A and B are shown apart, each in its own frame.
Chain A
Amino acid sequence: QITLKESGPPLVKPTQTLTLTCTFSGFSLSTSGVGVGWIRQPPGKALEWLALIYWDDDKRYSPSLKSRLTITKDTSKDQVVLTMTNMDPVDTATYYCAHVYSNSHFDYWGQGTLVTVSS
């Protein structure tokens, strides 16, 4: 059974760096073809893909946010970490991590974690 859970601070100040951790079980990020992605959703708005990391450490980023994002993995801990620099109130959103199936879609999602950016 695949499960994922996001963790991180619920509140960050503008200009600070956000660090989110996705802890998963039921699969290994050292297995060929496996990936984990991050998606966010501002309150009342649509889903937005942010970043994705594969088993071979290949990393993909949303072009619009690439300069602010870093995604890494710790296979020994079954974790994926996303950092986003220079946070702004418009980055207030629920952040989800998800298992990537066959390089195409997100078949298992975490419950999400709400991050509010405010001074």
Chain B
Amino acid sequence: QSVLTQPPSVSGAPGQRVTISCTGSSSNIGAGYDVYWYQQLPGIAPKLLIYDNSNRPSGVPDRFSGSKSGTSASLAITGLQAEDEADYYCQSYDSSLSGWVFGGGTKLTVL
């Protein structure tokens, strides 16, 4: 059971927009800790996609965007492409656990 809750799967057709939610609590996201998103392509190490809730590292397309509100955060992907098919993980810090926590991951399928 992950500390941060994500939907197990989402799907969308090429060109569409999908969102992935990440729900936490008052000891992590709700406490003001930033949220980070990682993309993991099959068989490859995770790659940082979004940092500090809504910022993209250099090289990440602007089709990817992040937001945070209250105890939750969201990752939005617009203009879906086949290459976006991957697992996506959110991450934050939890003060009650005194450690870094990940969501359970969401598998994105491009139909």
Contact = CB atoms under 8 A, between A and B. Distances in A.
A4 to B, nearest CB: 9
Contact of B51 (A47, A49, A107): A107
Query: Taking chain B's interface residues, is the majority helix, strand, or loop, or is none over half, making it mixed?
Result: strand
User: Which of B52, B89, B100 lies at the interface centre, i.e. has the most chain A CB atoms within 10 A of its CB?
Assistant: B100
A112 B89 contact: no
B41 interface: no
Contact of A47 (B46, B57, B97, B99): B46
Interface in A75-118: 96, 101, 104-112
Contacts of B57: 107
A52 interface: yes
A48 interface: yes
- Complex A-B, nearest 6 residue pairs according to Cβ-Cβ distance, in ascending order: A105-B36, A49-B100, A109-B45, A47-B102, A46-B105, A46-B104
A47 B91 CA distance: 9
A112 B98 CA distance: 24
B47 interface: yes
Classify chain A's interface size.
20 to 34
Contacts, number: 57
A47 B51 CA distance: 17
A109 B100 CA distance: 15
Contacts of A107: 48, 51, 57
B106 to A, nearest CB: 10
Contact of B99 (A63, A96, A110, A111): A63
Given A49-B101, A105-B51, A110 B45 contact: yes
A97 B21 CA distance: 26
Given A46-B104, A105-B91, A60 B99 contact: yes
Given A46-B2, A104-B36, A105-B51, A63 B98 contact: yes
